[in-house]
Chain A
Amino acid sequence: MGIYNDYQVNPAVLVWGNHTRARRLAQAISQQQPVIWAAPEKPDYPITEFPGRTIWGRDLAYLRGQVGRFTIGLGPTPMEELEVGQIILVPFPARPILDYPDETSTTGKNLVFILSELGRGTYAEALSQLSALAVTNRVTVITDDVQVNFFEGEALYTEARLRGVVFIRTDHPPVVTLKNSTPPVYEVQVFDPALGQEVLLTGDAVISPIPSSEAGGLPDCLNLSTTTDELLTHYPGLTHREGILVFPDREGVMTQKEEQLVIRAMASQVARLATGRIRTELYYQVEAERCALCLTCYRLCPHQAIEMVKDDTCKNLYREACHIDPLACRGCGLCYAECPARAITPLDQTERTSPGSVILACKNAVGAVAAQWPGPEKIRLFPCAGAIGLNDMLEAVKTGSDVYVIACFQAQCQHQHQNQRAAARCRLLNRWLARMGLPEKIKFIKLSAADRVETLAARMRDKK
Chain B
Amino acid sequence: MIIGELKPLNEIAAKVQGYKRILVAGCGGCVTVCQTGGAAQAETLARLLALTLDEPKTTVEWISPTRQCEWEFIEPLREQVQNFDVVLSIACGVGVQAVAELLAGFPVLPGLNTTFMGMPVQPGQFEERCQACGDCILDLTAGICPVARCSKSLLNGPCGGSQNGKCEISPDTPCAWQLIYERLELMGKLENLEKLVLPRDWSRSRDGGPRRMVREDLSLDDEE
Known: A292-B28, A317-B66, A437-B10. Contact between A394 and B44, CB under 8 A?
A: yes
A442 to chain B, nearest CB (A): 12
Contact of A339 among B10, B34, B40 (CB under 8 A): B40
> Is there an interface contact between B51 and A438, defined as CB atoms closer than 8 Å?
yes
Q: List 6 A-B contacts (CB under 8 A).
A: A292-B33, A292-B38, A317-B66, A340-B39, A389-B40, A398-B47
- The answer for the CA separation of A294 and B26 in the assembled complex, in Å, is 15
Contact of A435 among B10, B33, B35, B123 (CB under 8 A): B10
> Is there an interface contact between B39 and A391, defined as CB atoms closer than 8 Å?
no
Contacts of B29 in A (CB 8 A): 292
Known: A294-B33, A340-B40, A342-B39. Contact between A300 and B51, CB under 8 A?
A: no
Can you name the residue of chain A whose Cβ is closest to the Cβ of B37? A340
B56 to chain A, nearest CB (A): 12
> Is there an interface contact between B51 and A397, defined as CB atoms closer than 8 Å?
yes
> Is there an interface contact between B52 and A342, defined as CB atoms closer than 8 Å?
no
Q: Give me the interface of A with B, judged by CB distance under 8 Å.
A: 290, 292-296, 299-300, 317, 338-342, 389-391, 394-395, 397-398, 432-433, 435-438
> Is there an interface contact between B9 and A432, defined as CB atoms closer than 8 Å?
yes
A273 to chain B, nearest CB (A): 31
Contact of A394 among B8, B13, B38, B48 (CB under 8 A): B48
Contacts of A433 in B (CB 8 A): 48, 51
Within 8 A of A (CB), among B123-166: 123
> Is there an interface contact between A341 and B32, defined as CB atoms closer than 8 Å?
yes
Contact of A300 among B8, B50, B123 (CB under 8 A): B123
B2 to chain A, nearest CB (A): 13
> Is there an interface contact between B8 and A341, defined as CB atoms closer than 8 Å?
no
Q: Mark B20-59, 1 if CB is under 8 A from A, else 0.
A: 0000000011001111001111011001101110000000
A422 to chain B, nearest CB (A): 15
- The answer for the CA separation of A292 and B28 in the assembled complex, in Å, is 7
- The answer for the CA separation of A294 and B38 in the assembled complex, in Å, is 10
Contacts of A395 in B (CB 8 A): 47
Known: A317-B66, A435-B8, A435-B10. Contact between A341 and B48, CB under 8 A?
A: no
- The answer for the CA separation of A338 and B34 in the assembled complex, in Å, is 12
Known: A300-B123, A340-B39. Contact between A391 and B48, CB under 8 A?
A: no
Known: A300-B123, A398-B51. Contact between A390 and B13, CB under 8 A?
A: no
> Is there an interface contact between B9 and A391, defined as CB atoms closer than 8 Å?
no
Can you name the residue of chain A whose Cβ is closest to the Cβ of B6? A432
- The answer for the CA separation of A338 and B44 in the assembled complex, in Å, is 12
- The answer for the CA separation of A398 and B49 in the assembled complex, in Å, is 11
B142 to chain A, nearest CB (A): 27
- The answer for the CA separation of A341 and B29 in the assembled complex, in Å, is 10
Number of interface residues of B (CB under 8 A): 24
> Is there an interface contact between B10 and A391, defined as CB atoms closer than 8 Å?
no
> Is there an interface contact between B52 and A391, defined as CB atoms closer than 8 Å?
no
Known: A432-B48, A436-B52, A437-B52. Contact between A342 and B40, CB under 8 A?
A: yes
- The answer for the CA separation of A436 and B41 in the assembled complex, in Å, is 16
> Is there an interface contact between B123 and A299, defined as CB atoms closer than 8 Å?
yes
B182 to chain A, nearest CB (A): 24
> Is there an interface contact between A296 and B9, defined as CB atoms closer than 8 Å?
no
Contact of B123 among A290, A296, A432 (CB under 8 A): A296
- The answer for the CA separation of A260 and B66 in the assembled complex, in Å, is 57
Within 8 A of A (CB), among B59-99: 64, 66
Can you name the residue of chain A whose Cβ is closest to the Cβ of B29? A292
Known: A391-B40, A391-B44. Contact between A292 and B51, CB under 8 A?
A: no
Can you name the residue of chain A whose Cβ is closest to the Cβ of B53? A436
> Is there an interface contact between B47 and A436, defined as CB atoms closer than 8 Å?
no
B209 to chain A, nearest CB (A): 32
Contacts of A317 in B (CB 8 A): 66
> Is there an interface contact between A436 and B123, defined as CB atoms closer than 8 Å?
no
Contacts of B40 in A (CB 8 A): 339-342, 389-391
> Is there an interface contact between A342 and B43, defined as CB atoms closer than 8 Å?
yes
- The answer for the CA separation of A339 and B10 in the assembled complex, in Å, is 25
- The answer for the CA separation of A14 and B40 in the assembled complex, in Å, is 42
- The answer for the CA separation of A397 and B47 in the assembled complex, in Å, is 9
> Is there an interface contact between B35 and A340, defined as CB atoms closer than 8 Å?
yes
A337 to chain B, nearest CB (A): 9
> Is there an interface contact between B48 and A294, defined as CB atoms closer than 8 Å?
no
Known: A296-B123, A395-B47, A438-B52. Contact between A340 and B10, CB under 8 A?
A: no
A427 to chain B, nearest CB (A): 14
Contacts of B66 in A (CB 8 A): 317
10 more A-B contacts (CB under 8 A) besides A292-B33, A340-B40, A342-B39? A292-B32, A340-B35, A341-B32, A342-B40, A391-B43, A394-B48, A394-B51, A435-B10, A436-B9, A436-B48
Nearest 9 A/B pairs, CB to CB: A340-B38, A394-B47, A294-B33, A435-B9, A342-B39, A292-B32, A340-B35, A299-B123, A340-B32
Contacts of B52 in A (CB 8 A): 436-438
- The answer for the CA separation of A388 and B220 in the assembled complex, in Å, is 52
Contacts of B33 in A (CB 8 A): 292-295, 340
